[in-house]
Homo-oligomer: A and B are copies of this chain.
Amino acid sequence: MFFSIDESNGVAIYEQIVRQVTFAIADETLKVGQMLPSVRALSIELAINPNTVARAYQDLLADGIVETLRGRGLVVCSGSLKRCRDQRRSMIAERLKSALTEALHGGLEADDIREIVDKQLNKLDGSVARISDAGNLSNPSEVK
């Protein structure tokens, strides 16, 4: 599966799930009409309590990203692709903005910060690339 929880990054676990489902839809790892993993299955996989997964799924339902198929589970709603792409961008931009604001207010220079970002990005991109793709030059149509 495509989820991974980081217990120590300060983001609530249910929130990490909401975000990662959103990202998976934006990414078409999870397509419109496709079902989410069951609460039970996902809770086992992530080794967390089912209530936490259920809480995340409620948020996605309330947000109209997924809907219930009675007795069968949750499916990705039509129209979610675009919404999730938009949300992905704003969620990520928002979080980066918050971290960057702190860095600038904390007295680091913009160039200094760019250097930190580049270093992290090079290091991380390598390890992510090995897992998720290869030809990393594409998909400009996804950018909002």
Minimum C-beta distance from A137 to chain B (A): 8
Minimum CB–CB distance from A94 to chain B (whole Å) comes to 9
Contact of A96 among B26, B62, B93, B117 (CB under 8 A): B117
- Oligomer copy total: 4
Tell yes or no: A34 within 8 A of B by CB: no
Residue contact B109 to A136, C-beta cutoff 8 Å: yes
Assuming A7-B70, A10-B10, A97-B120, is B49 touching A107 (CB within 8 A)? no
The 8 Å CB contact of A11, one of B10, B133, B136, is B10
Would you call A104 and B117 a contact (CB within 8 A)? no
Is B88 touching A108 in the complex (CB atoms < 8 A)? Answer: yes
- Write out the residue numbers on chain B whose beta carbons fall within 8 Å of the beta carbon of A96: 96, 99-100, 103, 113, 116-117, 120
Nearest B residue (CB) for A71: B49
- Docked CA distance A4–B102 (Å): 10
Binary interface profile of A, 55-73, with partner B (CB < 8 Å = 1, else 0)? 0000100100000001100
A19-53 near B? 1/0 per residue, CB < 8 Å:
11001001101000000000000000000010000
Q: Which 5 A-B pairs have the closest CB atoms?
A: A23-B106, A27-B107, A9-B98, A110-B125, A92-B103
